[in-house]
Amino acid sequence: MTKLLDFIKSGPPAPRVVLLPDHRFFVRLVPVADAATPADVAAQVELALETLSPFPPAQLYHGYYWTPGAPQALVFASYRKRFSAEQTAGWGEADLVAPAFAALLGVEHEPATTLLFPSADGLTALYWDSGTVPAAVRTRTLAADATDADRAQAREELLRAMGGSRAIIDLTAAPEIAVSPDEKTLLFRAGDFTARLPVGVSAALDVRDKTELTTLRRGRARDLVLWRVLAGCVWALVLLFVGELSIAGGRAFWLKTQTIRIRAQAPLVDKVTAANDLANRIEELSTKRLLPLEMVSLIGGKEKRGGILFTSFTSSTTNGLYTLQIQAQTQNSAELELYRTTLEKLPSVAQVNIPKPDSRNGVTTFQLIITFKPDAIKPAT
């Protein structure tokens, strides 16, 4: 989760930039008409290349640098066959393909300033007079085994070619692309030196086929929109997760508060419960006591029991408040089942049980166990 957040916070990765060897490009200054628009400048550059180059623009990798109001544009071009298929294979995924010196065209400078930087195969110098567009770009190719003396000599030759420079900027490394703090600027670093190039200007610097560039830029704009949507979704998920944690924490705090309140009120609840139990006990003693006489009166009428004679009866809490046990006898055993049927039909009787009746000498002795319904027995008034 932490790595994902760091990835989102860091924003999109650095643009993919391919910086080509400077010595493979010829550089020229092309005059620009007053009040020219970017479209006008692009058309003038195409016309100038047809005059300056022995090859038509369609066979060239070319670009240019121009700032609004500048009287001239810096044009650079290279014959396409100077780059092999292996070298151009990775260009399709790049955001910018340009000569290395193009990364430093937007640096802040004083009038009459020369900037020099090394590369793997040589040394390049850019010279500004009083304008924003360099007045000259020169490159000296050096062998791979060139000594420091060779490099110092190449530097002196470039400075002499530039004329009288009042300020010299010596870079110790070639420029490399870096992560920019905003989407409108390309950031390049050369050692401790930093150069910023507006994205709008860098579009003209790209040397690839212009039709292909249009397609690539549309795809890049789409990818940027998708990136923003993805980042927005991730942040929304993070906020939802934080919200869930907040709700869970609030719920736990609420439950803890309620538990404390319940514990604080427990003695009062216990007191109320004890009082309620006592009231129920008093009511039970007054209304739900054993009522044997009332039970006998419900079952003991002559018209119900016929010739059955009750000899004794008991009722106890061991069998419940609504159970009556009667010892009885009859000289006619047929009356026993008839009496059972009569009792079972009474609405106040829940169950009738006559376990193991005993018949001797014409007399049937039996125990009658009757369970009444709770609401059927009422105390006599």
10-residue averages of pLDDT along the chain (381 residues): 52 80 93 89 91 87 92 94 90 89 90 90 92 92 89 91 84 89 86 87 87 72 75 83 82 84 85 83 63 74 73 60 82 82 84 85 86 74 59
CB 336 within 8 A of CB 356: no
Whether residue 217 is contained in a domain is answered as no
My answer on whether 53 and 173 are in the same domain is yes
Residues 104 and 204 in one domain: yes
pLDDT at 225: 76
Listed in sequence order, the residues at least 6 apart from 71 whose beta carbon sits closer than 8 Å to its beta carbon are 31, 32, 34, 131
Query: What would the two tokens of residue 359 be?
Result: 């018949």
Do residues 61 and 150 both lie within one domain? yes
Say if 6 falls within a structural domain: no
| Residue ranges making up the domain that contains 122 | 12-208
Q: State the residue for tokens 């600027």.
A: 185
Total of domains in the chain: 3
Dihedral pair phi/psi, residue 58, rounded to 5°: -65, -20
Indicate if 240 and 331 belong to the same structural domain. no
What H or E segment, with its residue span, contains residue 222?
A: helix 210-287
Domain boundary among 208, 236, 269: 208
Together in a domain, 256 and 322: no
Q: How far is CA 46 from CA 7, 43, 65, 215, 270, in A?
A: 43, 5, 13, 20, 98
pTM metric for this prediction: 0.57
Which residue, of 208, 231, 259, is where some domain finishes? 208
Phi and psi at residue 166, in whole multiples of 5°? Answer: -85, -25
Residues 36 and 141 occupy one common structural domain: yes
Residue in this structure with the two tokens 């004329």, named with its chain if needed: 163
Structural domain contains residue 381? no
Question: What 3-state class would DSSP assign to 288?
Answer: coil
**Structural domain includes residue 194:** yes
Q: Is there a single domain that holds both residue 201 and residue 227?
A: no
- Strands of the sheet with 60-65, listed across from one edge: 26-31, 72-79, 60-65
Give the amino acid at 256. K
Q: Let me know if residue 34 belongs to a domain.
A: yes
CA distance linking residue 198 with residue 176, whole number of Å: 16
5 is a domain residue:
no
Instruction: Indicate if 30 and 139 belong to the same structural domain.
Output: yes
pLDDT of residue 3: 52
Report the first-to-last Cα separation within the chain, whole angstroms.
Answer: 80
pLDDT, position 310: 81
Do 146 and 79 lie in a common domain?
yes
Element (H, E) at 350: strand 349-353
Residues 315, 355, single domain; the answer is yes
Residue keyed to tokens 């010299």 = 168
Q: Is residue 183 domain-resident? A: yes
- At 71 the three-state DSSP class reads coil
Question: Residue 163: what are its φ and ψ, rounded to 5°?
Answer: 90, -155
**DSSP for residue 21:** P
Measured distance CA(143)–CA(23) in Å, rounded: 13
Q: Quick one: 75 and 89 in the same domain?
A: yes
Residue 372 maps to which CATH number?
Answer: 3.30.1360.100
Among 181, 208, 235, give the residue marking a domain's end.
208
Provide the pairing of β-strand 167-170 with 113-119. Answer: parallel
Biggest distance spanned by C-alpha atoms of the chain: 155
> Cβ–Cβ contacts within 10 Å for residue 230, how many?
11
Question: What number of helices (H) and strands (E) belong to the chain?
Answer: 9, 17
Q: Which of 70, 22, 23 is nearest to 44 (CA)?
A: 70
Range list of β-strands (E), 192-231: 193-198
pLDDT at 318: 44
Angle subtended at Cα 213 by Cα 207 and Cα 214, rounded to the nearest 5 degrees? 145
Residue 2 lies in a domain: no
Q: Please check whether residues 182 and 253 belong to one and the same domain.
A: no
